[in-house]
Amino acid sequence: MSMFEYRNGEMYAEDVPLSRIAEVTGTPVYVYSAGTLTEAYTRFASALAEAGLNARVCYAMKANSNIAVIRTLADLGAGADVVSGGELDRALIAGVRAEDIVFSGVGKTPGEMQRAITAGIGQFNVESVPELELLSHVSASAGATVDIAIRVNPNVDANTHHKISTGRQEDKFGIDIARAQEIYALAASLPGIAPIAVAVHIGSQLTDVSPFRAAFARVAELVGELRAAGHDIRKLDLGGGLGIDYGGQTPPPVEDYAAVVAETVGHLGCELMFEPGRYLAGPAGILVTQVIYAKEAEARRFAIVDAAMNDLIRPALYDAVHRIEPAREPAPETALHPWDVVGPVCETGDTFAKGCELPALSDGELLVMRDAGAYGAVMSSVYNSRPLVAEVLVRGDAFAIVRERQEPATFLGYESLADWQD
């Protein structure tokens, strides 16, 4: 459920008009709803509990790593799934308990491993034999033993965008499930390693439960085989990937997802770990932008806005669609026209929407890009030397700036002339 809606002719974030936020922060600005985050987490966790599953939810921070967003979810009981040392630091600063942190990702460095071991995280998800051997060395050298899951690749096509599909043999993630017996035997022989879990994650933005069912059924078979070989498999990490409605899509109810989990692995007696990211953060965030120029060309209408592909890269990177709406509610009989909503970056790819049905627009109008809470601000850059924009968290009738708008001097301060250029 989204808590961004029209009231009294303008769009609100919970009980705060977006126009008030824009006046304080300027635009573009990301706005997050604490209420929407809370509702999504509660719905996800409750569905798993009602299905009779022993589940732990570890928020996939790559979706949105703002520490205020993480803290909102941590206060509800969420752990964290991290994929870098920086994300580990963010999780700890935000108040996530170390034992509730899972470290995923294909390229962990020795330094990151050491930091995570020192922090006392709950689990490493290992994705290759070289990583397994390195983690053993780092862990044993520290006099520690770490719990690990080996991420298996079940060769299941998630039928999603090829850039976010992760469970096929040609993808870089995990090990081929056919080699699992061999790799678990190796893990059991190594010092500093306790192979007590199996992990799987087949992709992102899934809108059909069938790939989940196929992948989880293969994992259930593997657990039986590993236990028969003497391995003490106590946990299953089932990843994330449940999609959201970006407009015109129908993702499955979370209750259907929970039913598939119960059907395929519920009989194994394992603690189950889930790592939703987009599902929790996506609908909880919007990007508010201002029309710089309403340009009517011979063939098309262009709304040139102050947000650009560096602020929200998903349309340029994935051909992603974000619903765009005016912050000022159109009257019921207002005529709509097709607009191309574009940014100021000198690339044709800096386009948010083509033929978007909007009312007549004028310079200075605010537009809202929906479902931008996941893979929005976290993927932004300073391309074209455009500073990172502000982020705001709303709760009820209060809002706080949780990341200040960056000044150009900030990123320019990291650069210098070469000593011979003085």
Active site residues: 346
Q: 206: buried, middle or exposed (CB in 10 Å: 19+, 13-18, 0-12)? A: buried
326 upstream amide cis, omega within 30 of 0: no
Three-state secondary structure of 157-194:
CCCCCHHHECCCCCCCCCEEHHHHHHHHHHHHHCCCEE
E strands, 183-334, where? 193-199, 235-237, 271-274, 285-296, 301-305, 324-326
Helix (H) or strand (E) holding 341: strand 337-342
Closest by CA to 105, choosing from 46, 3, 173, 48, is 173
Helix (H) or strand (E) holding 5: strand 4-7
- For residue 65, how far is the Cα from the chain centroid? 8
Three-state secondary structure of 231-257:
CCCCEEECCCCECCCCCCCCCCCHHHH
Pairing of strands 324-326, 351-358: unpaired
* Rounded Cα gap, residues 17 and 374, in angstroms: 22
What is the Cβ-side half-sphere exposure of residue 72, based on CA atoms within 13 angstroms? 25
Count of C-beta atoms within a 10 Å radius of residue 20: 13
User: Can you read off the two tokens belonging to residue 34?
Assistant: 């604490």
User: Can you read off the two tokens belonging to residue 145?
Assistant: 């033993």
DSSP 332: T
* Rounded Cα gap, residues 310 and 230, in angstroms: 51
**What's the start-to-end Cα distance of the chain, in Å?**
57
* Rounded Cα gap, residues 112 and 76, in angstroms: 27
* Rounded Cα gap, residues 16 and 399, in angstroms: 8
